[in-house]
Structure 1
Amino acid sequence: MTPGMFLTREELYELTGYKLISKQAGWLRRKNWRFEITASGRPIVARSYVEAMLGGTKPTKEEERFKPNYDAIRPGR
């Protein structure tokens, strides 16, 4: 079976060490990893981004395009 574009829930747990989605998102933010939040509130991470981060290679321009805009969600802005 071909792996999907995004990490599975189990893989995200393995990466972060957390089962709670709020804790997973917190871990990803603290580590400055690029991710998105789905409509259901679950963080998703591109498999190619994980491979680049853990493999020591620089993310591609396509991966850079999906960098979240944290300023849009910070209070007081």
Structure 2
Amino acid sequence: MASDLFLTPDELEHLTGRRRGKEQREQLDAMGVRWLVNAAGETLVGRRHVEEVLCGTASSDRKKREPNFGALAS
């Protein structure tokens, strides 16, 4: 069943603290949680991925950002 695979709208709202899809997606990005938008415009978030992120076992797709120290050299 899809509700077992994906967070429900109520769970997504609880996780992000946001009601609107755009704001939810911004918060998910900040949390390092991957998401997709389906054809109906709904934000889909995998339940297992959220568990991995919250437990610290998910591999991060985000690049580690470091300052460009080369820009300081003249």
Could you say which TM-score interval applies, normalised by the shorter chain?
A: 0.5 to 0.7
Q: Which amino acid counterpart does residue 34 of structure 2 have in structure 1? A: R
Question: What do you get for the CA RMSD once the two structures are aligned?
Answer: 2.0
Q: Which amino acid counterpart does residue 31 of structure 2 have in structure 1? A: K
Three-state SS of the structure 2 residue aligned to 1:4 is helix
Runs of 4+ in 1 over 3 A off after TM superposition: none
| Paired position in structure 1 for 2:30 | 30
* Identity rate, percent: 34
Map 1:62-73; keep pairs closer than 5 Å: none
- Which is greater in Rg? 2
| Paired position in structure 1 for 2:14 | 14
| Paired position in structure 2 for 1:50 | 50
Alignment partners' CA distance in 1, 2:58 and 2:24? 23
Q: TM-score, normalised by structure 1?
A: 0.65
**Number of matched residues?**
59
Alignment partners' CA distance in 1, 2:57 and 2:32? 16
Q: 1:54–1:32: structure 2 CA closer, same or farther, 3 Å change rule? A: closer
Alignment partners' CA distance in 2, 1:25 and 1:39? 16
